[in-house]
Structure 1
Amino acid sequence: MIPHRLLASLLLVAAPAVSAFDFKSVGAAPVILYDTPSPKGAKMYVAPQGMPLQVVSRYGDWVKVRDANGELAWTEAKGLSVRRNVVVRTPGAKVFAGPEESAQVLMTADKGVVLELVDPTALTWIRVRHRDGIDGYVRSNDVWGL
């Protein structure tokens, strides 16, 4: 018989492998991130439009989210959009015309640049679109939000 603590530990380790992460993006207007699921909580910071956030848990109309820096906070679910964006985490990340290093470089993105995720099923090369209309591919390890 497996002890309960060991079983719980095994389930926690296995859980990420069987379920995809739930990512949303900040909607049309910036949202306030709080330390508790209430507007009476301390305001931590304002997340700008389009910023990707990982939804960690839900509590009524509120969601607990993780940002690209790993910070946890609460915000109202209504302020988030199902539209998927990613944020560049590697300074000077290159966006290529095709899913390969030998493809033409269309742009170089600074750390923190938000890109729209065009194909959320891709693994190694992610198809993205910049707000200026540039559509290309970036390596998945150069962005956060997948």
Structure 2
Amino acid sequence: MRLPRFSKAWVAALLATAAWSVQALEFRTLAEHGTVFYDAPSAQARKLFVGSRGMPLEVLIENRDWLRVRDQSGALAWVEKKALSDKRSVVVAVSKAEVRVAADAKSSLLFVAEKGVLFQLLEAGKTGWVKVKHRDGAVGFIRIEEVWGV
């Protein structure tokens, strides 16, 4: 029995796709107010926008002292690695998100958070809920699909 021949390019593309599909998303948080985002990994590159502390970012590429990141809106940019923290945050991605006492839709409602509200991520559970902390100290649970940054 003869096996089909595949081109090296086709095999390489297949392996790259397989590697991409198993790679977990990596999120980090902006550590400083006024951090500049660039269109290339250099402080001499064109400045695109400025971010605020606590902003969650998805890390796409690491290039020495620079990271290629995506923000909640989908904007792509380069930022210096030193400007990011491993401390995690999430942002409300829907018009209103209910923050509950426990990871259960039937638990008591703590408060409702508007779109764009930042929370410190305390725990990313496997139950469809994330444990978060608001800057005023309130700790609760939000459905994972209602936040971005996990």
Structure 2 partner of 1:124: 128
Residue 41 of structure 2 is aligned to residue 58 of structure 1: no
Q: What whole-Å deviation, never above 9, does each CA across 1:73-95 have from its counterpart, x for those lacking one?
A: 00100010000001110111111
**Aligned partner of residue 10 in structure 1, secondary structure:** helix
- For the aligned residues, what is the CA RMSD? 1.7
Please identify, of 8-17 and 118-127, the stretch whose mean Cα deviation from structure 2 is larger: 8-17
**Aligned partner of residue 98 in structure 2, secondary structure:** strand
CA separation of 1:16/1:122 partners in 2, compared to 1, >3 Å: closer, same or farther?
A: farther
CA distance in 1, matches of 2:36, 2:103: 36
Residue 65 of structure 2 is aligned to residue 26 of structure 1: no
CA distance in 1, matches of 2:127, 2:74: 21
Residue 140 of structure 2 is aligned to residue 136 of structure 1: yes
Tell me the TM-score normalized by structure 2: 0.88
Q: What is the 5 A alignment of 1:91-102?
A: 91-102=95-106
State the number of aligned residues. 146
Consecutive unaligned residues in structure 1, runs of 5 or more:
none
Q: What whole-Å deviation, never above 9, does each CA across 1:99-135 have from its counterpart, x for those lacking one?
A: 1111111111111111111013545111111101110
Q: Contact 2:103 / 2:127 at 8 angstroms: preserved in 1?
A: no
CA separation of 1:139/1:121 partners in 2, compared to 1, >3 Å: closer, same or farther?
A: closer
CA distance in 1, matches of 2:15, 2:148: 25
CA distance in 2, matches of 1:127, 1:11: 36
Tell me the TM-score normalized by structure 1: 0.90
Q: What is the 5 A alignment of 1:68-87?
A: 68-87=72-91
Runs of 4 or more, structure 1, over 4 Å off, are none
Question: Percent identical across equivalent pairs?
Answer: 38
CA distance in 2, matches of 1:121, 1:9: 33
Task: Choose from 81, 102, 106 the match for 2:110.
Answer: 106
CA separation of 1:37/1:49 partners in 2, compared to 1, >3 Å: closer, same or farther?
A: same
Structure 2 partner of 1:40: 44
Letter in 2 for 1:72: L
CA distance in 2, matches of 1:18, 1:123: 21
Please identify, of 10-19 and 74-83, the stretch whose mean Cα deviation from structure 2 is larger: 10-19
